[in-house]
With several copies, the nearest count.
Chain A
């Protein structure tokens, strides 16, 4: 065994050709550093389990950013602390990959804390090897979240103080407190005996990946004699004396037995299938699409449609009165009638409980600005809407308002037709007061003759696919039509 960890595992490169400098056989790590041991244990396990082709390892920022100098499988270096997020992206899209994250303490417990906790909580399919040496290595020996109390570092020159700098963070304990992780263990590489246990833990975490069981976390207490300023041969003792009491070795979670392998994720749909999903049509090509257009007959241009170039509509009311939907209905009918159409909502916090409006433009020409400032048609569900938008009406315009709640006398405006419809009462009769918006659509439609029945059918059936809602809304629509019949027909728009 001792022999084995000294030889170069086959998941290491034969020659470290990527490493700069002359020496292509040793690592770039300092004498006594634990990374080399951890690397070897991982490489050995990957080789022994036959995972070289499937293994993908994420390198952190820190001394081990260069781990790809050594490993002979796929590797990626990612922004500081983000290894679990990047590996999540990899793990999800390659269900066959053996996903390995390798992080130091600054990387994982400081800047990357949110990423490791959330990846663990989601139970991402990955093995995380967390090398804890209680200090930042590469950047110059700064205090890490795992730095021991009173330990001096380049950013805690008076020793880490509990007050203000806190206690060392125990990542195994924190991660074991979540429900999704399958396996959490803390090991060390301070002695051959400890290293044997580390070896077993690393192999177990990788086996969990082979078995597709989920998230495994192995914390490895590891020497950093350079930044600790102790002799390499004293570093093991330093770990045992200083780290063991704070970071207790052991298994913090083991649900391997009771965890089932993850099922394979569903297949990604093909282009043809995606097109069908998005359109309800089975064809993915444009040629067939054109045929569909002429087949379904809904693109019927209304022969009796008034010769109108463009109409600017404002649909307004309280939030919850369905004025956004009303706008969508007008736009859908207009689209079906071969108008160019735009719909623009007012939105934001005011949409919860406040007033809301939507702007719709129907035009025979391509539409520039979708903003409606000068209004041809106003469908108003409440008083504030009338107050706000009446001054913006164009001459020749049409206002239909919900007289169920607007009971004030509406001031006449020159050249503007104003029609009251008791929309909420009619909707209530149709089965649901919330269909008041559709009552106004019926009235508008009847007063202008702008849309064919097919246009309106399309709009209603698209917006209300469920049978019950469809029925109520069709009744409401009819009530709106009926209410204005004979009264104000022939409105210009």
Chain B
């Protein structure tokens, strides 16, 4: 049957192959390594290129090369590896090379540990590399979406000539769920700007250096126009039981799964709670979020970091609704019960039970 029980990391490889990805260039790092393992097994069988690069830096630059050659290509890593790729990602953005980067987040900073985290939000969403660039950032929360969003990532990358992140975490990458295998596609051949061994593309140049400030300014403004178009067109989100909610929970990735359980539990206890889940972290579904501002009384942002997404929510809501924050760090995830308890406090109901101390709000640096 077409449904297979599969790890999220493996589903990424399926999505890549189904999308016609021609090259995978990676380096071992837990908890992303299964992506490389499965790619090593399947890419050659599919007549595609798999290279274990000598380093994270080499891997992203192999992607740079393959993308400049006009084929779909990708890499995958986690925290420290993503940091090493930042120069390459800035170059990909600057040269407008379509490319897909998968980040299976682990706990940082530093070597940290290999458990789930969302500490790379700022890095991936705000631009961890230098210069005025953007990447599209997709946030899957299931094995199915690990596959589907990888395919979508390739589509968006080609459509907008932009690097696209699939930002996931150790839980979504390591968990298994049934995958309903989507239909495969044959992507179009190399675009006319690509470097190919054919007369048609003779003399094509791909570069990101513009010594002349006029040219550079035009180029940077052109990039911003592209980004503005993406912001208009490509925001995606999912809402759950928000229609009559007094409190909306906001979270992405594995957290959104926990929040969904929390919504159900809260509803059972008579608390009108809903879930707003951004599926694109950039562009953020700001308009869709703001539809709830005014009608809903409070927002509770839950993250596995020191408070990163919550800053954006505050920016968008601009003081019109109270924004609450709850987090766990170090590899823990909050339980639905803890979230419900926090929701109960916010909604002014009596506490049903004490919650664990560490899951309460901590100060949020700005």
Contact = CB atoms under 8 A, between A and B. Distances in A.
Partners in one complex: yes
Interface string B331-355: 0010110000000000000000000
B48 interface: yes
B205 interface: yes
A299 interface: yes
A52 B196 CA distance: 11
B33 A142 contact: yes
Contact of B46 (A66, A88, A118, A269): A269
A34 interface: no
Given A86-B68, A118-B54, A76 B207 contact: yes
Contacts of A397: none
A7 interface: no
Interface in B94-133: 95, 111, 113-115
A58 B68 CA distance: 11
| A20, A106, A342: most-surrounded residue (chain B CB, <10 A) | A342
Contacts of A342: 175-177
A158 B39 CA distance: 12
Contacts of B46: 268-269, 273-274, 277
A274 B62 CA distance: 23
Nearest to A365: B264
A272 B261 CA distance: 38
A90 B66 contact: yes
Contacts of A63: none
Contacts of B80: 79-80
B177 A78 contact: no
Contacts of A136: 28
Nearest to A368: B261
B69 interface: yes
A274 B175 contact: no
A371 B22 contact: no
Given A89-B66, A115-B58, A292-B2, A77 B206 contact: yes
A43 interface: no
B65 A90 contact: yes
Interface string A138-167: 111011010000000011111000001100
Contact of B64 (A86, A97, A271): A86
Given A139-B33, A292-B1, A332-B5, A286 B183 contact: yes
Interface in A340-389: 340-345, 347-349, 366-371, 373
Contact of B198 (A53, A66, A118, A341): A53
B5 A341 contact: yes
A85 B66 contact: no
B303 interface: no
Given A275-B184, A284-B184, A343-B175, A82 B4 contact: no
B107 to A, nearest CB: 11
Interface string A111-140: 101110010001000000000000010111
B17 interface: yes
Interface residues of B, number: 99
A76 B205 contact: yes
B274 interface: no
A154 B33 contact: yes
Given A59-B207, A368-B264, A289 B111 contact: no
A86 B28 contact: no
Contacts of B183: 271, 275, 284-286, 289
Given A342-B175, A368-B261, A271 B186 contact: yes
Contacts of A233: none
Given A78-B61, A88-B62, A370-B175, A265 B47 contact: yes
Interface stretch (A67-75, A217-225, A473-481, A484-492): A67-75
A113 B64 CA distance: 18
A421 interface: no
Contact of A86 (B3, B62, B262, B335): B62
A271 B69 contact: no
B56 to A, nearest CB: 7
A187 B279 CA distance: 53
Given A68-B207, A118-B58, A369-B258, A277 B45 contact: yes
A64 to B, nearest CB: 12
Contacts of B48: 268-269
Contacts of B310: none
A184 interface: no
Interface string A37-77: 00000000000000011111011010001101000111111
Contacts of B167: none
B285 interface: no
Which residue of A113, A279, A298 has the most chain B CB atoms within 10 A of its CB atom? A279
Interface stretch (B208-216, B217-225, B287-295): B208-216
Contacts of A278: 14, 17-18, 42, 181, 184
A482 interface: no
Contact of A368 (B20, B29, B182, B336): B336
Contacts of B51: 88, 92, 122, 164
A18 B205 contact: yes
B17 A274 contact: yes
A115 B57 CA distance: 9
A296 B47 contact: no
B195 interface: yes
A26 interface: no
A139 B31 CA distance: 8
Contacts of A370: 171, 175, 177, 254, 257
A93 interface: yes
Contact of A61 (B61, B67, B111, B185): B111
25 contacts: A74-B201, A76-B207, A77-B208, A78-B61, A78-B65, A82-B61, A85-B53, A85-B61, A89-B66, A89-B69, A110-B54, A115-B61, A140-B33, A142-B37, A155-B37, A268-B22, A268-B46, A275-B18, A275-B183, A279-B2, A279-B181, A289-B183, A344-B174, A369-B336, A373-B335
Interface of A: 13, 18, 20, 52-56, 58-59, 61, 65-66, 68, 72-82, 85-94, 96-98, 106, 110-111, 113-115, 118, 122, 136, 138-140, 142-143, 145, 154-158, 164-165, 265-275, 277-279, 281, 284-286, 289, 292-293, 296, 298-299, 328, 331-332, 335, 340-345, 347-349, 366-371, 373, 462
Given A92-B66, A271-B20, 18 more contacts: A56-B69, A58-B65, A76-B68, A78-B65, A79-B87, A85-B53, A85-B59, A86-B61, A87-B65, A88-B62, A92-B23, A93-B69, A145-B54, A155-B40, A265-B47, A286-B183, A328-B5, A348-B115
